[in-house]
Structure 1
């Protein structure tokens, strides 16, 4: 009887994993579709459905994670960081966010300008090309850093509260 229950649990886990993989694959291809349509056709209505779909998928993922208390904690390339809830731990995570943001901003900027040959990411602010590129990099850096910081620190704080609740 116990063997049958374990087999059912394993099958359920595999089934759940396959559904998750399908959902993340659809999410990824929908984002690619939006990116393609943005650069090929600048008409907002042509990719409005995909944007709504991404928002609905994102909300459903977040709702599921909140309901099941699954936290997205900051990780290193080779695995999870040891979470330290002290000021030193926050400093370590800030350095991690900073490095992550630099890499992402440079890659994003390079892809948009070099491969997609987009002249400006945002509105043209100045005629000086170097100043325009610097402003775009700084703006991208700021948005990504703030998003990383708010998202991961919220998750770290929720994880810490949950951990304290379990230990008490």
Structure 2
């Protein structure tokens, strides 16, 4: 079950896409040179009644995706759930996804885009998809903490001597 279903709403996503030169930070995360071209996709997830609860900005090196079927980020109707499948389709297998998650106060842009007060914390996620030692996508994801609950489930193996 995805987050939207669990939360009782259906995702509506607004998307914008463009190309730009990689900043020092994005270049470092993608292991490319500052100024190299990247495709950028910015997504805003909305509840059924149009209330924004999450935004994400995704970066992909144009040196990898340029001239391929995935040169443009995926259609914005569902954000970008298919990074792994998209890269598989051009013969690049993502074998690792790294995420750093933390709580912080929102930036002025997040306050504006997510239509929230400046005193509501953000759940911030920095994510990078890797194919071996090659970073193929990195993203900054911001989630309103007052509109999202993150649920995780972990399997626990039986300890030695325990019975089922």
* TM-score with structure 2 setting the length: 0.23
Q: Which has the larger radius of gyration?
A: 1
Structure (1 or 2) with the greater helix fraction: 1
Structure (1 or 2) with the greater strand fraction: 2
* TM-score with structure 1 setting the length: 0.23
